[in-house]
Structure 1
Amino acid sequence: MSSVLLLSCPDQPGIVAATAQSIADNGGNIVHAEQYVKADDGETGSVFFQRVVFDLADSVTNASFQTAFAPTAEELDMTVDLRDSAVPIPTAIMASKQPHCLYDLLIRWRSGELPMDLRVVVSNHPDHEGICTHMGIPYVHLPVTRETKPEQERQVLATLDEHGVELIVMARYMQILSDDFVSHHPMRIINIHHSFLPAFIGANPYRQAHERGVKLIGATAHYATADLDEGPIIAQDTAHVSHRETVAQLTSRGRDLETVVLARAVAAHLEHRVAVHGHRTIVYN
């Protein structure tokens, strides 16, 4: 059984040795390890981060290993997240009318590129029910207006609970989530948007960008927080553009970036390669 251990703690001597020794003492064999030390910024001190992939003996479960590792974690003041890499994360996708991110995720999931346990697609529009039904994914249509938004969010949360969802992917779900909604799934909601923010807010951002003659467009995927578009960033990418490109061409290139960046961020989360520290992330290769 292959396990992934994400840990962080105050930087100090002996962390790597203590972790490796604990894994060995429990019959584990390390197959990959990567680490990073965030320098002292005057507020939090130096912080050590590590991702360790290791195989456990058949007789050792993740639960028993975590119990055995607890004294080491306590001694070094560690935050620990342990996952069985063979168990995919139960996931929901939320979408509105725009299909590009949803369809891309469905294809990557269906082809085995994204190791997620896709449980349900939730949308405030009925547009994508056909493709989801074709792929055997439950499709829940929950329309929303400004007046019905609180009730609709309660219905969405109930749907997610019903399907045992742990990760939510906002595939161009064009609704602002309430603080209460986000608090039910902290650092487990991934959002995607164009990277013009905080410039070009509102409708038609690519038209606004075209009018300003931008030379660079991009996309950002991040965890949703109470400040929806300001959560810890997981993945970004950019493309150079010129004065020759029309609004439609800019929009098309932006959609391409959004699909790739969102898939990259979702893969990083599913593969347990993301550690959150304050307002930023450490994303392992």
Structure 2
Amino acid sequence: MQASPNESTREPARYVLTLAVASAQGQVAAMVALLERHGAYIEEFAVFDDALVSRFYVRIVFRLDGDKASGIAALREAYAQLMDGFDGAEGAIHDLSRPTRVMIMVSKADHCLRDLLAQWRRKELNMDVVAVVSNHADLGPLAVAEGIPFHHLPITADTKPQQEAALLACIEQHEAELVVLARYMQVLSEEMCEKLAGRVINIHHSFLPGFKGARPYEQAHARGVKLIGATAHFATSDLDEGPIIEQALERVDHAYSPELLLSTGRSVECLALGRALRYVLEHRVFLNGLRTVVLR
């Protein structure tokens, strides 16, 4: 029977399967066989075996054509059963047609926010920006101009618990799945980091652990650095010590003033943060103790 026009033009449904598991033989074969039984076509396949800790990481992009897509629930259930037979397995099947809900937090610097919003508008990042939150009001007009809810949550040392409670309420209100600290110049409390573990990406204006704290580019100038770097990492209760997702650099020399180092650094920060966020949105990033595995 000839397919209807709607069936013949229907885009295939695309998904990402992720798995982190104790290393053992037969795991790849089991996953491939599972996908084949459910009519999946594998488009990408990336693996990494960390022999130092005997842990295996897998990322598979696959599609389900036509009415096979209706079987995704059955495939997810079968995958959960398969993982039950693996030692220490963590994984999921993610629908690539569903953007991740992202909240962006800022202070006064606008370069990272503007860059992320530009990539979002160009559909280069598979996300919905559900809100912008700041401890200052300066970037409110930018968020409003983009049609994004803006929340001004000022903070002092005395009001930090109340501010973070309001922040958690904001995350719940907007059902944010991921929080991006795009030059948010406040340290999240240990309790907040624990509640949001693995869900907060921060950009640090240096190669960690170098040049922490205030005025990093003046510190870099004073040391006569030859490379300017930036580090995107998961936020933890240890200041700027979370698992690193991506780093970027630019070569500089003795002729760079602190102001030119700052300008160069802003560009590098945008590059590192944008890449890190894209890797997370594409389900390429796995936590591996104090490190990450990024399957490309």
Shorter-chain TM-score: what band? over 0.9
Which residue of 2 is the match for residue 28 of structure 1? 40
CA contact (8 A) 2:207 2:247 kept: no
Q: Which residue of 2 aligns with 1:139?
A: 150
Cα distance in structure 2, aligned partners of 1:89 and 1:199:
32
Aligned to 1:252: 263
Aligned to 1:52: 60
Residues 13 and 196 from structure 1, CA distance in 2 versus in 1: closer, same or farther, beyond 3 angstroms?
closer
Match of 1:8 in 2: 20
Cα distance in 1 for residues equivalent to 2:46 and 2:25: 16
Q: Does 1:159 align with 2:170?
A: yes
Query: Which residue number corresponds to residue 193 of structure 1?
Result: 204
Asked if residue 125 in structure 1 is aligned to residue 136 in structure 2, the reply is: yes
Shift of 1:182: 1.4
1:222 is paired with a residue whose SS is strand
Amino acid at match of 1:7: L
Q: Which amino acid aligns with 1:55?
A: R
Structure 2 residue 161 is the aligned partner of structure 1 residue 150: yes
CA apart distance, 1:28: 1.5
In structure 2, what residue type is equivalent to 1:140?
H
- Give the C-alpha shift of residue 71 in structure 1: 2.8
Q: Please give the per-residue CA displacement for 1:90-149, whole angstroms capped at 9, x wherever unaligned.
A: 110000001110111111111211110110000011111111111100011111111111
1:173 is matched with which residue: 174, 177, 184? 184
1:69 counterpart residue number: 79
Q: Does 1:105 align with 2:116?
A: yes
1:10, 1:59 → 2: CA distance? 31
Q: Distance in 1 between matches of 2:207 and 2:264?
A: 14
| Alignment-mate amino acid for residue 49 of structure 2 | V
The CA RMSD over aligned residues, in Å, is 1.2
Map Cα deviations across residues 142-170 of structure 1 (whole Å, 9 max, x no partner): 11111111101111110110000010000
Secondary structure of residue in 2 paired with 1:226: coil
Deviation at 1:199, TM superposition (A): 3.6
**Secondary structure class of the residue paired with 1:258:** helix
- Number of residue pairs matched by the alignment: 280
- Whole-Å Cα distance in 1 between the matches of residues 270 and 155 of structure 2? 25
Could you report, residue by residue, the CA deviation over 1:193-252 in whole angstroms, capped at 9, with x for unpaired residues?
122543433321111111111111100000001113111111001111111110000111
Q: Secondary structure at the match of 2:71?
A: coil
Equivalent residue of 1:67, what SS?
helix
Q: Give the TM-score of the pair, scaled to structure 1.
A: 0.95
CA gap of 1:203–1:70, structure 2 versus 1, over 3 A, is closer
> Are the equivalent residues in 1 in contact too, given 2:208–2:241 (CA < 8 A)?
no
Measured in 2, the distance between the counterparts of 1:177 and 1:222 equals 14
Q: Pick one of 22, 30, 48 that aligns with 1:18.
A: 30
Hey, what's the Cα distance between the residues in 2 that align with 1:231 and 1:81? 23
SS in 1 for 2:293: strand
Amino acid at match of 1:15: Q
Distance 1:197 1:25 in 2: 46
1:197-276 → structure 2 map (5 Å cutoff): 197-276=208-287
The CA distance in 1 between the partners of 2:55 and 2:194, in whole Å, is 26
SS across alignment from 1:54: strand
One-letter amino acid of the structure 2 residue matched with residue 2 of structure 1: R
Query: Identity of aligned pairs, percent?
Result: 46
Which residue type is aligned with residue 45 of structure 2?
A
CA distance in 1, matches of 2:178, 2:213: 27
Partners of 1:34 and 1:210 lie apart in 2 by: 41
The AA in structure 2 aligned to 1:134 is A
SS at structure 1 position matched to 2:70 = coil
2:5 matched residue in structure 1: none
